[in-house]
Each structure stands twice: as C-alpha cells, then as structure tokens.
Amino acid sequence: MTSVLQYSHGEREGVLEQAVAMLDNGRAIIFPSDTVYALLAGAGSADAYREIYSVKHRNPEQPLALLATPSHPVVGEVMKLLEDLEDEQDAFLSGELTAVFPRGRLKKVPQAALALQQGGVGIRIPAWEPLCELIERCGGLLWGTSANISGSDPQTTAEEMQAALDAMDPQPMLCVLVAEELPGNVSDVVRFGPDGPEVIR
C-alpha cells in the first residue's frame, strides 16, 4: 500500500524527511517536480532503479536521466563541456534542457550510477526548490523520470496522480502530492556528441 503525503510549506520538513528515508532505503518514490510528477530513485540504488522500470512498465533499453543540484560537481563538468554554447548553458541551468553525453564524458558521475545503465548519461537541474533540496539531501543526484505508465500522458494534478497511482501495479511505497497544478512543460533532451548537438526530444 502506497503512503500518500500532501506537501505544503508547513509540512515541508516532515515530507522531505520521509522522502529521503524511503530513497535511502532503496525504494523509488513519486514526488512533484517543476514539470510533471516524477518517479525518483537513488543514484546508486540498483533496487530502486529497477523499481522505476517495473512501476512504469518501461522498456529496459530506454535510459533514465539523472537529476542534479546546481552544487554537484557534474554540473560544473557539463557547463565546461557546453562552454561554447551559451544558449544551451542557459537552458541547462534553468532546467529547460536535459543534456546527454556519451558514456565516459562525465567523470563526476559516480561509478555506482554508471553501472546501472549502458550508453550515454543525461543530466538535468530541476527548477523547483523543494525537489532540489530533496536531491541535495540524497547526495546531489537522483534518477528521475515522469511518474506515468509508459505510453500514457504524464500527470500534472494531484487528482490525476492519485488516479494513475491506483492503477499502478506494482505501486511505489511513497507518493507526495501538491495542491497546485504542475506546469506540465517538459525539458528538451539534447545529445552532445562528436558531431555536435542532436535533439532527441
């Protein structure tokens, strides 16, 4: 049975503590983001990483992206790799761009995270401060993707998320909801390889 919490300013600390505890215990959780409701897992947790795929019924060949806080060393590394692309730097820092790099280009991604998937690694900085704080408390990196079943629309309201949660099998152990509707806009996904930027989404 999923534990459903309502995020608010007054409940902020308690909600964040429970979310961190669940992530630290190797479980995936649903949490609001600056785009849509997100399904999150600890960067080095193989169990939680696999749980994301199970909950979403996601193709194992589809990689996940890492959500990072601005203070994590990998962000400085990405900015260095984008130093000649000012617009892309601005979009990356504002959360509007998920930057994907070939395997081996990002030396600051922990080996425990790299070991969980093949191919390139995507990095995004969320723009919503409570999510950034959650990521910071978990070491500065979390795997993240939209919390919808693969092939269905992502959720932006608490009512949509609750209905989607009821239909999930299996269900994550924790779901955090907010009263406000989430923006619904998703980031651009751009791969930066030897032949230059390539828009994936």
- Can you spell out the DSSP letters for 63-99? --EEEE-TTSHHHHHHHHHTTT-HHHHHHHHTT-EEE
Q: For 58-109, write each residue's pLDDT tens digit.
A: 999 999 999 999 999 999 999 999 999 999 999 999 999 999 999 889 999 9
Report residue 63 as tokens.
């990689």
Whether residue 159 has pLDDT greater than 90? yes
Percent of the chain whose predicted confidence (pLDDT) is above 90: 94
Candidates 111, 134, 135, 132; CA nearest to 121 is: 111
> At 31, is the pLDDT very low, low, confident or very high (cuts 50, 70, 90)?
very high
| Residue-level pLDDT at 50 | 97
> At 5, is the pLDDT very low, low, confident or very high (cuts 50, 70, 90)?
very high
Peptide bond into 194 cis (omega under 30): no
| Residue-level pLDDT at 195 | 85
Report residue 74 as tokens.
């990998």
Whether residue 196 has pLDDT greater than 90? no
What value, to the nearest 5°, has the Cα angle with vertex 11 and ends 7 and 12? 75
Q: For 175-194, write each residue's pLDDT tens digit.
A: 999 999 999 999 999 999 98
What CATH architecture is 3-181?
Alpha-Beta Complex (3.90)
Mean pLDDT of 27-53: 97
Measured CA to CA in angstroms, residue 138 lies from 84, 111, 156, 166 at distances of 31, 16, 24, 27
Candidates 69, 79, 52, 92; CA nearest to 138 is: 69
| Residue-level pLDDT at 1 | 81
What value, to the nearest 5°, has the Cα angle with vertex 26 and ends 141 and 160? 80
